[in-house]
Structure 1
Amino acid sequence: MITTRGLVKTYGQVTAVDGVDLDVREGDRYGLLGPNGSGKTTLVRMLLGLVFATRGEIEVLGFKVPRRVREALPRIGAMVEGPGLYAHLNGRANLTLMDAAGPGGSRSDRKRRVGEALERVGLAGIDRRPVKAYSLGMRQRLGLAAALLRQPRLLVLDEPTNGLDPRGIREIRDLLAELNAEGTTVFLSSHLLGEIDALCSRVGVMDRGRLVLQDELSALRAPTGRVLVGTPEPDRVVALLNGRVEKRDGSRLTVRHADPGDLNTELVQAGIRVTSIGAERRTLEQVVLEATTTSSDRVS
């Protein structure tokens, strides 16, 4: 669906994107992670032909970008750096204008598409207020509705839950999962670990313009070879396992062992009570911190 090879974008002496080889496959829920300023938005803009690459190759839906981007765009729904809306018009009027700019169809078809898009993002009861009176969350929902107008094969979103409350974030996440199940490939750029962790099946990590990591989320969060054990008898466990306990936090122990089942059997046979046990897995936060060198936007 999306492939880049050696993609570079420079602004004078600044390299915003540095040799990125992106691989987004059909059916993916792909999350592009990285701190602010890591090059995510610049990369997304190049994918859509909004910014030209300094060098490298881009292919989206089988079309070379930017040379054939006009052929790809009707099949793509996108929201980058917030929705582009006419502030003096209401939401329905905004979507009607956006739909009119696309492929033809009767007035009733356009009205139906607009209504369905508003329904999907939770704005079916939209009133006649101008967009300038909308909350940030409502504007984000309206921008997503615009991206869904023509049932795209590929959905490209940059920080789509910006400004939403926790319930709104959950609703948008569920909507994106539903769209993906119906066949839409989702490419989501965000700096929010929880958003990517809860939705995505594949992850790329940007740092200082480079794609430093790209893999299945399940592979990145594979077992570490340690087991987390909860027990009211931690001293007995430490004595029994003879140096295999690597960390102790009250009644919770981290044990060097490959199989939670075998370890549970060993403890129970020794007469030790076990309240919880399971394989330790790396969190997405740990994965990202290990892969990146950018500390934050702090200035020392």
Structure 2
Amino acid sequence: MKETVLRVDNISKSIKRKNIIKNINFEIKEGDICGFVGPNGAGKTTLIRIITGLIKPTKGAIYINNYDVNIKRKEALLSLGAIVEAPIFFEYLTGEQALLNLSLLNLDYTKKQREEIVKESLKIVGLYERRNEKISTYSLGMKQRLGIAQSLLNNPKIIILDEPANGLDPMGMIELRELILKLNKDKNITFFISSHLLDELQKICDKLVIIKEGSLIWYGDTKDLIDDNKSNNLEEIFVNLMKENKTI
């Protein structure tokens, strides 16, 4: 039986008396690749910030690897890697220098361990041969892969990606997709991916979470959603769901 890596337990968030997130519940199991979908303004980024501990919910709790993010923050976040919006680096540094600096945040690593995990992370994302080049020379796709390398430094159980394909050309999108599938297969890393690119999500996600106006309207297997709607076009299904008024 697969372990629950992420549990969103009755989460609500209000800002200036406006309900941004409304009683959302779902869980993601070890090894899942879960897409997170909703129209602009649905509350996706707010929920991701709650999950990653950047803001606190008004009600409810987030559990990562069975640790409550608000109570056992350090223990919870040690199992988490995340890129919220675009990865940001000092572009005058090389890729290797940037990751070595970031690895200092883990006080449990020795210098040798830091060097080894940075080396391994760069190899995994295909940037080891470019490790001594300044980040300013990297393409957008390379910077995105460097961001994923950064998220690997803590040996996470789950990686959260917020619109990871934004601005990528077709080759960059293919490289990103293949990297996600490789990390999932080889390291059993769980992914929670927010994206507007439904065709990309359909290619890699076995689970989907769909929200509208801060409420959960679908959570389950991608295959079940497609079968229930008798359509293999996720974009078409999404448009139809947005026209309905149901929540779960």
Q: TM-score, normalised by structure 1?
A: 0.74
Summarize deviations over 1:133-183 as a string: whole Å, max 9, x none.
543322212111100123211111111222222122112212211222232
The residue number in structure 2 matching 1:138 is 142
How many Å apart are 1:117 and its aligned residue?
1.3
Residue 71, structure 1, aligned to residue 75, structure 2:
yes
* CA deviation vs aligned residue, 1:110-151 (integer Å, no higher than 9, x gap): 222112212222222225554345433222121111001232
Question: In the alignment, does 2:207 pair up with 1:202?
Answer: yes
Deviations 1:191-230 (A, max 9, x none): 1101210110000112111111111011111176xxxxxx
* Alignment correspondent of 1:43: 47
Alpha-carbon distance in structure 1 between the residues aligned to 2:174 and 2:190: 19
Cross-structure match for 1:273: none
Aligned match of 1:237:
none
| Structure 1 residues 188 and 80, CA gap change in structure 2 (3 angstroms) | same
Q: State the SS of the aligned residue for 1:31.
A: strand
Farther off after superposition, 31-40 or 84-93:
84-93
CA contact (8 A) 2:85 2:162 kept: yes
Cα distance, 1:58–1:119 mapped onto 2, change above 3 Å: same
1:101 aligns with 2:105: yes
- Could you tell me whether the CA contact under 8 Å between 2:63 and 2:76 is conserved in 1? no
Q: How many residues align?
A: 239
Q: Deviations over 1:210-259 (max 9, x none)?
A: 111111011111176xxxxxxxxxxxxxxxxxxxxxxxxxxxxxxxxxxx
Matches for 1:25-174 after TM superposition, within 5 Å: 25-126=29-130, 128-174=132-178
Alignment gaps of 5+ in structure 2? none
1:271-294 Cα offsets, whole Å, 9 max, x none, are xxxxxxxxx634211221121149
The answer as to 2:194 corresponding to 1:179 is no
**Rg comparison, structure with higher value:** 1
> Which aligned pairs between 1:242-257 and structure 2 lie closer than 5 A?
none
Moved more, 24-33 or 134-143: 134-143
Q: CA deviation at 1:28?
A: 1.0
Deviation per residue, 1:6-36 (Å, 9 max, x gap): 2111221432222211221222111101122
1:192 aligns with 2:197: yes
SS of corresponding position for 1:156: strand
Instruction: Determine which of 221, 227, 231 is the counterpart of 1:281.
Output: 231
Greater RCO structure (CA 8 Å; 6+ sep): 2
Structure 1 residue 108, shift from structure 2 partner: 3.0
Relative to structure 1, is the Cα distance of residues 220 and 131 closer, same or farther in structure 2, using a 3 angstrom cutoff?
A: same
CA RMSD of aligned residues (A): 2.0
- SS of equivalent to 1:292: helix
Report the AA paired with residue 217 of structure 1.
T
State the distance in 2 between where 1:82 and 1:284 align. 25
Q: Is the 8 A contact 2:61 2:70 kept in 1?
A: no
Normalised by the length of structure 2, the TM-score is 0.88
Give me the whole-angstrom Cα distance separating, in 2, the residues matched to 1:89 and 1:76: 25
Cα displacement (A) at 1:95: 0.4
Q: Output the CA distance in 2 between the equivalents of 1:64 and 1:223.
A: 34
Q: Which residue of 2 aligns with 1:222?
A: 227
